[in-house]
Homo-oligomer: A and B are copies of this chain.
């Protein structure tokens, strides 16, 4: 049995392989996709031709014909925040072993941009989507529902998920942080937040509620900015809050650890002792929080695990399994450290 040499110029197709192996195109297709449905003899013969020629299937023709893209769309607000890249890592680690490809978009926290990007994603006919949060535009949600792709909304628990949902309750987490600070004996408690995306808003509302319940909420104890969150901004907001409260604030809930680090570093420069003069609590529990001095109380959330689970939910659904729960609460845990020890 002779097999033709590779013709390096033109693109190889199923037919080239079929001719080389002396079979029909569909048989080659089967050798690739359903090897069990082809006899041993032909399978070996065809595989040899494939290897010899160096044939690589055309995914686009395949997707078009089968309407299966093997693509999963993922949308996150930003690549600059370890919170999201940790989740991403979980998603990639699961999906890369399943033959699915990830198509990632970065919405820059803008629902409008998100709509545009999700439109692009949908044109790739993804078999499923993993998207962040629930503040998509109405149009965008319609697009998603009309497309009928399985959707997992991650990072936060939603009142009305589009489909599947995995995350935790930011409101409750904010409430619990405030409670922790109250329990530690602090009473003039402030809040600083940046970007103010829906999840930060919820943390703030939970925080506010807890203070209101004990009649300790004061409007001027809140400092926020629409700017992106950063250590620098944390320092700025910290100074604003000191000013607006005439320095009487005795504890601050920072909407995330970057802000908290900024506040901590600034307080060190101002010679304000943490936690003696002032308590600080962050959110997300990034690695630095555990090691900085004083160590920073923060709220741990299983980001990598959330990514893993979201991807697993997707895979399960794609395998036709509709049994599992559609909503998963991944919870959180307040890590009490030196910065709030009274």
Contacts and interface: CB of A to CB of B under 8 A. Distances in A.
A54 B96 contact: no
A193 interface: no
Contacts of A54: 142-143, 146
A117 interface: yes
Interface string A227-258: 00011100100000000000000000000001
Please state the number of chain copies in the assembly. 2
Given A124-B59, A288-B261, A291-B232, A102 B101 contact: no
B106 A230 contact: no
Interface stretch (A60-68, A151-159, A207-215, A325-333): A60-68
Contacts of A6: 146
Contacts of A85: 79-80, 85
A195 to B, nearest CB: 15
A117 B96 CA distance: 8
Interface residues of A, number: 56
Interface string A93-120: 1001000011111100000000001011
Interface stretch (A166-174, A175-183, A262-270): A262-270
A80 B85 CA distance: 7
A231 B64 CA distance: 48
Interface of A: 6, 8, 54, 56-61, 63-64, 69, 78-80, 82, 85-86, 88-89, 92-93, 96, 101-106, 117, 119-120, 122-125, 142-143, 146, 230-232, 235, 258, 261-262, 265-266, 268-269, 287-288, 290-293
A61 B59 contact: no
Contacts of A288: 231, 261, 288
Given A58-B123, A93-B106, 11 more contacts: A8-B146, A59-B123, A61-B64, A79-B92, A80-B86, A92-B106, A101-B124, A102-B104, A232-B291, A261-B291, A268-B293
Contact of A101 (B63, B79, B103, B268): B103
- Find the residue from A79, A232, A266 having the highest chain B CB count within 10 A: A79
A6 B142 CA distance: 12
B57 A123 contact: yes
30 contacts: A6-B146, A54-B146, A57-B123, A58-B64, A58-B125, A59-B60, A59-B123, A60-B63, A60-B64, A60-B69, A61-B64, A79-B85, A79-B88, A80-B86, A80-B89, A82-B82, A92-B104, A93-B106, A101-B103, A101-B124, A102-B103, A102-B104, A230-B287, A231-B288, A232-B291, A235-B291, A265-B292, A265-B293, A269-B293, A288-B288
